[in-house]
Structure formats: structure tokens, C-alpha cells
Amino acid sequence: MVRIGASTVPPGLPGLDPRFSHVLCVPDGGSPAGARASGGAGVAASGDEWHYLDNGPDLAARGIEPVGTVLAVHGNPTWSYLWRDLVDLATERAVVAAAATGERPGGVPGAWRVVAVDQLEMGLSARSGRHRTLPERVADLGAFTAELGLSGPVVTLGHDWGGVVSLSWAVDHPELLTGVALLNTAVHQPDGVAIPAPLRLALAPGVHRAGTSSTPAFLETTLALAHPRLPADVADAYRLPYRTADDRAGIEGFVADIPADAEHPSRPELDRIATGVAALDVPALLLWGPRDPVFSDRYLDDLIGRLPQARVHRFEGAGHLVAEDVDYAAPVLDWLRGVALGAEQEPVPGMEGQSGRNLLFGTEGFGGRGPIWTGLDERAADPATRAESAVLDMSGSGPGTVTWRALDRQVRRIAAGLHSIGVRRGDRVSLLVQPGPTLTALVYACLRIGAVVVVADAGLGVRGLTRAQRGAWPQYLVGQTKALAAARACGWPGVRISADPLDAVTRRALGVHHELVDVARAGEGHELPPEPGPQDEAAVLFTSGSTGPAKGVVYTHAQLSALRDVLAGHYAVRPESGLVTGFAPFALLGPALGTRSVTPDMDVSAPRTLTARAVADAVRASDARIVFLSPAAILNVVATADALGDADREALERVETFLSTGAPISAELLGSAQALMPNARAHTPYGMTECLLVTDIDLDGIREAASAPDDGVCVGRPIMGAAVGGVTVSALDDDGAATGPPSSGPEVHGVLGEVLVSAPHLKQRYDRLWLTDRAAERDTPPGRWHRTGDVGHLDAEGRLWIEGRLAHVLTTAEGPLAPVGPEQTIERVAAVRRAAVVGVGPAGVQQAVAVLELADGVRRPGLAPEGLGAAVRATSSVPLAAVLVVPQMPTDVRHNSKIDRARLARWADGVLAGGRVGAP
């Protein structure tokens, strides 16, 4: 046995206390006899010397009995230093918990022992001079824990190839196991799929030894994967055990042992572990860095399939060294507390409905009208309506019409065809098709067979769509040619199905496996599989990305059905109503509501492309009585109203209900739109992707509220259905945090706070964002509530006023300040088209700065002209440190109407600090 360096870590390694460093000698052959030593004490003369981190002796010295042990295993080429934050924080929390609760039978709640090993040939453990295989590493770890005398309950934790080794211990020690946790890793390599390119390069002849042991290239490349770059002293700590070629022999051996194909000697052991993992019935946690060039989301998706009970969180921006990129230790320990309390034995949200009962609201099945496709079934089956128009297509030279009978037939053909090519219940199908009859048929076909529809707006752009596709990791992707080209170029996952007919060359170039026309033909005459249940997942809808990377929002079938019922009930949608929608989230609800629907001739990813003439054409073609539009679309509709002819205006006069959805809208703009539809009642409902309808107010209500002294935008009262939970407010403290107890009572009337909502159609959860879910449900009332991130207040009439986003609240010396109220006062200045109030300076003493977009525009951003600045200051309801102007406000990518205040704040801060004055 070759010994390297000191037997324990030297002092001075950043973040690692040497008192946690220990050495254990495991006799050759793994027999449970040997000698222990800690803190640099002597080591047995023979056997394998293991270095490991362990806070157990420290806890014992304090008289603290932990509730369990975390067995943490590093990968290649790191070492136990990777887990230093977890060891340190676990010790700190154990001490705090012991002081708060005292000793309890079975251990102190919240106290966990952490044992983090250096695998043999790695870190500060022994070097034997030979390459170890996966079966040997599995046996090694078992021998180590046996010699250590490790007893249960144990939670394993692994990263990289340490994930596989840790899972092997979990599979082989079920009597001790109480949970598994993983950072980026893989447990299965599909046949016929090449291992990731960086690993292929590391294994290449002429590169393998030179890159892994002769030089530190593999080590340095791994360290360079940190986001942000590792501090120099931390990087040096990782280099400590690997200074020479002999020290790095274990790195070379670990790479050589990667089961790159089915013939590799370690492949049978990997397959054994992968099979065993799928049988584990214990709580699981998966924390992931999506920017990992080795362990991509492909492997995360595989692990989720094997551990469907897992809590999953993807840290956008993090990569392979996720333990260095983000604070992983606190989430692990928070989850461990749930494991200790038994809370993690509860089903993952979205999986609790195996009995078909809606546990959230105590109603059986789908509720009022059955599954979301019931309206389509009823209309297609009724001889009186089956030949009527269901969906109209306005994208061609004239309206194309699909009847209820034709739509139902196409839905069934596509559904059966998708099932015939392998689409199964729970499989995700990304739909990248423009609104119209094809997309409508695809959506309902997927829902009928229990496939989960993934919908991400093209307005997210290629970068945002790439994040969304990789985050959701659909098994199938249906797209038109442009989307398929992007999928090919960006490596989006999923078996590709073309919605357009393609020639053979284009089909091969785009990697298309099927054409939709062939899929539908294959389904002709075939029976559909059993329908999904109410608590089965139905859709993943992505947010706009206006407050950070777009998030996937998971809906069950019961929740989609509840949304349909609320919409139909509140707005009196009848079969004869007809629906024109220029707002993507509602474009597909026509068949669910049992009424004909049409999307105007426009680019739905760019709402400002909608014209007044296009709306009139759609209303006339469909004889619609209801129109849904977004504020950005309304701006251009009003701006192009002069192009309307007499026939257009006559058609618009037949509209009975007009809704502006997606963002707040002024009474002036809503009134201008209503003037084009003079017989319509104009509404502006408030909601978000997580709960698409929460409150509602009409134009008369907005005008009535305008006389109230309240700040913000009045969005009305909770709509029908939301009364099951309703709306509450959690008051903000001086730091701008929502710490007040949620309430809707008189004590919060007029008090600025975060808005919480609850309804039968509230989303099930965020997709693979466990920590975001926990934050959205923090300190909420009993039942299912969601912290919206919006701030505002309730008035004495029960109306909700929105005053901005929690992230945009200014923390001034006078207390928290929401931006919308001051912006409204500034926008009364005639020259101002739009205003944004942002904070500059340190938190707690921030100063308010107004940024203006002018009606007549400006050529260059910078300080406002003196006269305009004076007029704005005189009108503003708050003191302003500066008044700036920009040619155009930066907005979000979907609605083109929500101002990106965070971006403006950074820009304003730079301008006032004397930086270069460029566009924000």
C-alpha cells in the first residue's frame, strides 16, 4: 500500500475544519477487523487506509445523538472536500437543534451525522497502484461502512460516479436505508446511445493516460466547469491529493471504468444497480445543474423515471459542480428533516390521486362537466351540432373550417396513432405548432391518451425555448419545419414528429422520425387506450420568463377541467358564444368549452402583430360573441382602428364580452378597445400561469375604483371558484419581505403585502423546481395556497389592488415602496407614455428613480430634459432622486407589456454612478 501526504487534511483548507478529518484502516479483504484512528492518530500497519470526513465524534463529544447518518460519496476527480459545506452546516444545525429541543429518544430532531469518504485511489485515501472496477468499488464501500460500524437509518448522497457507488450501497443495504439523495450523476447508459462527448475524448487512445494521470488536464477541466469560477484557494484544495502522476492514477482508472458500451466489464454491475434503484421505496432528492456537459438532463429524466417519488430541483445556471455553484447543503438538510419526521413519505404532489379522488378540494373525479374533452365529445356526438364549425383557421387566404365531427375524428386518429408509435400515459409531448386546427387536434389527442402536453411560447426565443425543452425533457416533440430546425440545431430532446409534410432529404436533415399525417393514418380505426384519471398530469405550461428563467407549471386533468368550468361559469360561455382569442393560453379552450374558436391572423408569439382588421375578420368568420386579447395586442388593435370599414365595425358590434388578459391595462386603453366593440362588456381578469383566473373586474368597476385613494391597479374580486380558497395578503416588513400572517380580514385592508391565491384550478406544482415550490407555499394557510410574488393590498370592499412584483419593491428609509402607484401618478404627465420607478443604492436606504418612455420618443437614453424632469417631480407621489428617459422600455418576451424593472434598475444604477449611457 502506498501512502500519500498526511493521514488527515492539513489546516488552512478553505471551508474545512480539520477536526472533521479521520482515517480508518479496513483490513485486506474487507474483514470487519482493523484499527480506527482520528484526528491524526496512528493507523493499522496493513489494509486499506481510508480518509473520510465525519462530524459524528464532534456530535458525540457534545452529547448529541443524531437521528441518522448521511453517507456521502464523491466522484471523479473530486474528493470528500466536495461535501465540506454539508458537514459544517449539519454540525451547526445539530448544535442549534440540541439547544432548542434537548435530547430526545431516537436522536435530536434536525441532527444528522455526515460521513464523507475518499474512495480508494482517490483523495487522501490509499493508493494501491491498480485500477479498481465498479464491482470492487461497491465492495470497498461496503467493507468501509462495516468496519466503521455504520448503523441505520442511513441516507446515501452521491455525485458524479460517486452517485452510482452510493446507490449500490443503498441497493445492497435496504435494512439500513431511509433515503437517497443525488447531485448530477447517471445510473444507466441506454444501448445505442453514445456516452457524452467529453468522456469519449477522455477515453480516446493517446488521450486517456495523457489527459488523466500524466497531466492534470482532466482535473483542471473539471474544476473549470464551476459557475462562477472557483476561488483560487478552493481550486487548490481540490488539487491537493492529485499533485503527481502517481497521485492521479485513480483518476485514470475511474475514467477507464466508465461502462461506455454493453461489453464493458463493469456494465453488468451498472445494470444491476440501475434495476435495484427502480425498486427503492424510500424518499429521494435530486439536485441538478443543467449546464453539465457530461450528466445532462437525459440522465436526470432517467433517474426520475426510476425514482418517481423524488423531490427534484434544477438550478438554472449551475453545472457539473453543482455543490460549488449553489447552496446545496441547506436544501439537503431541509429535506433530511422531512425524512426524519416522516413527511417525505407522503406522495409527491401530482401523484396523490391514484384513487381518482381530488384530495385538495374533496370532490370526486373531474368535477362539474367531466374531462376537458367532454365538450368536444358532446358536440361531435350531437346530430344537431356535429356538422357545425369547431375551429377556424385564419392564417390562409380565407377562413378554413373544421367541423366538430372532423375534429373529433382527427383527435381520435392522432391519439391512436401516437399510441401506436409508443406514446404512453405520462410521456411528455412538446407541441411547437402555431395555434390552429392542427395544434388543437394534437392537444386533445395527447390529453385523451394521458400524454402530458408541454407548451412553451415561441416568444421565449431560441435560448429560452432551449432551457424549457431541456428542463421538461419531453420524450416526443411535434413541430413545424422552423421548430424542427431549431430542435436539430440546439439539441432539443424527444423523438421528432413533423407537423408539415417533408421531402426525404429534409426529413433526414432534421432528424424526423415520423410525419403527423402518417401518425394519424396509422391510428385510423384503432381503439384508444384507457383514459387518464383526474389526478394524472395533463400539461406543463411555461411562464413568460419576465421574472427570471421561464418555469414549467404542472397541471393535472382535474385542474384543467376546473379552469374550464370557472371560465364557462363566470363569463357565461355557451355553445353558441364563439371565441376569438389572440392570447395563447386560452387559444385551445374552445373545444373544452364546447364552442367554436378561432385565432386571428397574427403571430401569437408577437402580440403586436394583431390588427383591428384581423380581429374583425375573425369575429365575422366565426360569428363570435367573446374576444380574448393581451394588452400588447390591444395597443396595436386600437392603433390600427382607422383601417376598419363599415362591415368590420358592424361585425365588432356583435361582440358581447371582451377580455384583456396577461397584464394590467389602463382604463383608457380598455375603454378605447371597448369603443371598437361598443356592445361588449369589457373585463380584465387577473391571473398568472400558475392560476390563470383569480379575480375579475370590468371597465365600469375600474372607473369606479379610479375615484378611490388606493395605489396600484384594481383587479377586482375573486371569481367564481376561487372562493374555495380565495385571496389573502401577507404584509411586508421594513426589509420588503412578506412576513405577515396571510389574511383577508380588516387588519390587512390597505396594507402592502404579497398576494396569496387558492382555487380548484391552481397549478399542481412547478416542474422539477422543488425549492421554488417550497418558497411558493411557505407559511401559507391550511389547504393549497400559492405565493404569487405579486404585491398589493385588499381594500375594505374586498377588491384586490396590484402594486408590482415582490422583487421590484424598493426598500427605502421610510419602509417598503411598491412601484406601480408612483408610476401611475407620473404617467399623468402628458409627455409620458410609460413610466417605471426603480430603486438605486443599498437596501434599506434605496432612492427612487423614474425611467420614462415618452409619447414622442427620444433618440438617446439619459437624463430627462430639465423641464420634463421638473414636471415629473411635481406630479410624482414619492420623492425622486433622478428622472431618466429611454427610447423604449425593456419588456418581457411573451406579453411585450410587462416592464423589466430589474434590468432598468441595473441600468439606472450604472448611469447615476457615472457609467456609460447605453440602452438598458
Residue 146, H or E segment? helix 134-148
Average pLDDT over residues 725-731: 89
Q: Which residues of 312-334 are buried (b: 16+ CB within 10 A; e: fewer)?
A: bbbbeebbbbbbbbbebbebbbe
| Residue 614, helix vs strand vs coil | helix
Reference 477, options 429, 427, 539; nearest CA is 429
Residue 445 belongs to some domain of the structure: yes
Report the CATH number that the domain containing residue 801 is assigned in CATH.
2.30.38.10
Neighbours of 553 (CB within 10 A): 23
**What single letter denotes the amino acid at residue 178?**
T
Average pLDDT over residues 876-885: 94
Residue 868, H or E segment? helix 866-875
How many angstroms separate the Cα of 81 from the Cα of each of 51, 115, 130, 869?
11, 12, 23, 56
**For residues 406 and 390, what is the distance between their CA atoms, to the nearest angstrom?**
9
Report the CATH number that the domain containing residue 431 is assigned in CATH.
3.40.50.980
**For residues 249 and 264, what is the distance between their CA atoms, to the nearest angstrom?**
20
Bigger pLDDT: 165 vs 397: 165
Look up residue 437 and give its three cell numbers.
Answer: 386546427
Distance from the Cα of residue 846 to its chain's centroid: 31
**pLDDT tens track for 480-530:** 999 999 999 999 999 999 999 999 999 999 999 999 999 999 999 999 999
- Whether this prediction's pTM lies above 0.85 is answered by yes
475, 452 contact by CB (below 8 A): no
How many angstroms separate the Cα of 660 from the Cα of each of 573, 670, 696, 713?
16, 8, 10, 14
**pLDDT tens track for 87-121:** 999 999 999 999 888 766 677 888 999 999 999 99
Question: Is the pLDDT score of 914 beyond 90?
Answer: no
Reference 85, options 143, 16, 176, 138; nearest CA is 16
Output DSSP code: residue 765: E
pLDDT of the residue at 724: 55
Question: Is the pLDDT score of 1 beyond 80?
Answer: no
Bigger pLDDT: 713 vs 116: 116
How many contiguous H segments (helices) and E segments (strands) does the chain have?
Answer: 31, 39
Residue 590 belongs to some domain of the structure: no
**pLDDT tens track for 246-263:** 999 999 999 999 988 888
228 preceded by a cis bond (ω within 30 of 0): yes
- Asked if residue 843 and residue 884 are part of one domain, the reply reads yes
pLDDT of the residue at 45: 38
Cell 456521502 identifies what position?
A: 72
Burial zone of 691 (CB within 10 Å; 0-12 exposed, 13-18 middle, 19+ buried): buried
Question: Is the pLDDT score of 825 beyond 90?
Answer: yes
216, 239 contact by CB (below 8 A): yes
Look up residue 241 and give its three cell numbers.
Answer: 491529493
75: domain range? 52-345
Average pLDDT over residues 53-63: 95
Average pLDDT over residues 627-651: 92
557, 538 contact by CB (below 8 A): yes
- Asked if residue 828 and residue 802 are part of one domain, the reply reads no
**For residues 293 and 36, what is the distance between their CA atoms, to the nearest angstrom?**
39
- Asked if residue 634 and residue 560 are part of one domain, the reply reads no
pLDDT of the residue at 196: 84
Average pLDDT over residues 384-410: 90
Output DSSP code: residue 528: P
Question: Is the pLDDT score of 882 beyond 60?
Answer: yes
Average pLDDT over residues 228-234: 97
**For residues 374 and 917, what is the distance between their CA atoms, to the nearest angstrom?**
57
Give the end of a domain, one of 345, 369, 400: 345
Residue 591 belongs to some domain of the structure: no
**For residues 242 and 256, what is the distance between their CA atoms, to the nearest angstrom?**
17
Question: Is the pLDDT score of 171 beyond 70?
Answer: yes
Residue 181, H or E segment? strand 177-182
**Strands 713-718 and 800-805: what pairing?**
antiparallel
- Asked if residue 502 and residue 376 are part of one domain, the reply reads yes
Question: Is the pLDDT score of 588 beyond 90?
Answer: no
- Asked if residue 672 and residue 747 are part of one domain, the reply reads no
Bigger pLDDT: 344 vs 199: 199
**For residues 480 and 90, what is the distance between their CA atoms, to the nearest angstrom?**
51
**For residues 255 and 481, what is the distance between their CA atoms, to the nearest angstrom?**
40
**For residues 509 and 505, what is the distance between their CA atoms, to the nearest angstrom?**
6
694, 722 contact by CB (below 8 A): yes
802, 686 contact by CB (below 8 A): yes
Give the end of a domain, one of 638, 657, 684: 684
Distance from the Cα of residue 853 to its chain's centroid: 32
* Number of domains within the chain: 5
Which of 41-55, 157-171, 548-562: highest mean pLDDT?
157-171
With both helix axes pointing from N to C terminus, report the angle between 631-639 and 667-676 in degrees, rounded to the nearest 10.
60
**For residues 245 and 203, what is the distance between their CA atoms, to the nearest angstrom?**
17
Residue 585 belongs to some domain of the structure: no
Average pLDDT, the chain: 89
**pLDDT tens track for 307-360:** 999 999 999 999 999 999 999 999 999 999 988 777 654 433 333 333 222 333
**For residues 888 and 898, what is the distance between their CA atoms, to the nearest angstrom?**
12
Neighbours of 128 (CB within 10 A): 15
Question: Is the pLDDT score of 842 beyond 80?
Answer: yes
Residue 100 belongs to some domain of the structure: yes
Question: Is the pLDDT score of 895 beyond 50?
Answer: no
**Strands 579-581 and 691-696: what pairing?**
unpaired
How many angstroms separate the Cα of 499 from the Cα of each of 202, 385, 439, 587?
40, 28, 9, 18
597, 392 contact by CB (below 8 A): yes
**For residues 270 and 53, what is the distance between their CA atoms, to the nearest angstrom?**
27
**For residues 385 and 596, what is the distance between their CA atoms, to the nearest angstrom?**
11
- Asked if residue 285 and residue 225 are part of one domain, the reply reads yes
Look up residue 896 and give its three cell numbers.
Answer: 411585450
**Plot region of 620 (φ>0 → left; ψ -120 to 50 → alpha; else → beta):** alpha
pLDDT of the residue at 31: 36
Share of the chain above pLDDT 90, in %: 75
- Asked if residue 163 and residue 71 are part of one domain, the reply reads yes
Label each residue of 670-683 as H, E or C: HHHHHHHCCCCEEE
Report the CATH number that the domain containing residue 905 is assigned in CATH.
3.30.300.30
Residue 25 belongs to some domain of the structure: no
Cell 395544434 identifies what position?
A: 439
First-to-final CA distance of the chain: 62
With a CB cutoff of 8 Å and minimum separation 6, the contacts of 646 are none
- Asked if residue 829 and residue 737 are part of one domain, the reply reads no
pLDDT of the residue at 6: 39
**pLDDT tens track for 752-786:** 999 999 999 999 999 999 999 999 999 998 888 99
pLDDT of the residue at 192: 73
165, 182 contact by CB (below 8 A): no
- Asked if residue 531 and residue 435 are part of one domain, the reply reads yes
- Asked if residue 554 and residue 624 are part of one domain, the reply reads no
| Residue 537, helix vs strand vs coil | strand
Cell 411528455 identifies what position?
A: 428
- Asked if residue 813 and residue 782 are part of one domain, the reply reads no
Report the CATH number that the domain containing residue 198 is assigned in CATH.
3.40.50.1820
Look up residue 762 and give its three cell numbers.
Answer: 391552481
**For residues 403 and 389, what is the distance between their CA atoms, to the nearest angstrom?**
4
| From 382-391, 495-504, 714-723, 846-855, the region with the lowest mean pLDDT | 714-723
Reference 874, options 828, 908, 917, 909; nearest CA is 828
How many angstroms separate the Cα of 199 from the Cα of each of 132, 257, 258, 259, 294?
18, 11, 8, 11, 7
**For residues 662 and 848, what is the distance between their CA atoms, to the nearest angstrom?**
27
- Asked if residue 658 and residue 615 are part of one domain, the reply reads yes
| Residue 502, helix vs strand vs coil | coil
pLDDT of the residue at 365: 65
With a CB cutoff of 8 Å and minimum separation 6, the contacts of 607 are 582, 583, 629, 630, 632, 633, 636, 895, 896, 897
Residue 32 belongs to some domain of the structure: no
Q: What are the phi and psi torsion angles at 53 (to 5°)? A: -100, 140
pLDDT of the residue at 630: 85
Residue 44 belongs to some domain of the structure: no
Cα-based torsion angle of the residue sequence 663, 666, 671, 674 in order, rounded to the nearest 10 degrees:
0
Give the end of a domain, one of 345, 365, 399: 345
